Structure 1
Amino acid sequence: METIGARLKEIREKSDLTLDEFANKINLTKGIIWSYEFGKKEPSINHLKRIAEFFNISLEFLIYGVDKKIDINLNEELIKDQFFMTVDEIEVSQDELLEVIAYIKAKRIVKKELMK
């Protein structure tokens, strides 16, 4: 599995940037970038955001190597039972979840009708 550091190095090199050039452009030290690329340190979330913004890539791509998009069909009972969701630190009940799904469906129907 490719690491964040290996991905960072590959992206930087494809952009024809040296360690010094890249570090200067994102206001970090050459040593920090080197330590990320060789797996000596894990980048902070702030540094990950800065790097992703600079290269115009998603955090998901930088971290996982793919732009992760997870489709969940919440109509399936099995899926609803496998996920634990909270709003304001309070668990969302299955009834509340079904209400949200119904609301989204109704809103889409109304929007579709208005577009005609």
Structure 2
Amino acid sequence: MSLVQRIKTLCDEKKVTFAEVERKVGISNGQIRRWDTSSPKIENVKKVADFFNVSVDYLLGRTDKQVINVENEPSTIAAHHDGEDWTEEELEEIERFKEFIKTKRQQ
């Protein structure tokens, strides 16, 4: 699937047009359609990827996973007690942090 086809699919899912995406990300009108026959600026591809909350690799067809794997963000979170006793307050704080991470994942 081409870059433009991927963007078209995302537009259909989000119920927006190319023109709306272009306007919202600040690129010139008709630009996305021209990407079928010309090489887009990487900055513009990044803007479109950010708009749809997908990775540039997904848009370019390098992966079928839409999820952005942000560098420096853990992909796995583990807590080790190492025999320590945790206070009720500390356990509540851990639970709040866990919920915070879950909400970030959904954004």
TM-score using structure 2 length: 0.55
Deviations 1:26-83 (A, max 9, x none): 11122212212xx122222111111111110011111124239xxxxxxxxxxxxxxx
Match of 2:57 in 1: 60
After superposition, the C-alpha distances for 1:80-113 in whole angstroms (9 at most, x for unaligned) are xxxxxxxxxxxxxxxxxxxxxxxxxxxxxxxx9x
Q: Percent identity, aligned pairs only?
A: 23
Paired positions, count: 70
Instruction: Name the counterpart of 1:6.
Output: 5
Structure with greater helix percent = 1
Query: Structure 1 regions of 5+ residues with no counterpart?
Result: 69-111
Task: State the SS of the aligned residue for 2:27.
Answer: coil
Cα distance in 1 for partners of 2:56, 2:81 equals: 35
Q: Which amino acid aligns with 2:64?
A: V
TM-score when normalising by structure 1:
0.51
Partner of 2:14: 15
Identify which of 29, 37, 45 aligns with 1:48: 45
Structure 1 residues 71-86: aligned runs within 5 Å = none
| CA distance in 2 between partners of 1:6 and 1:55 (Å) | 14
State the distance in 2 between where 1:115 and 1:33 align. 51
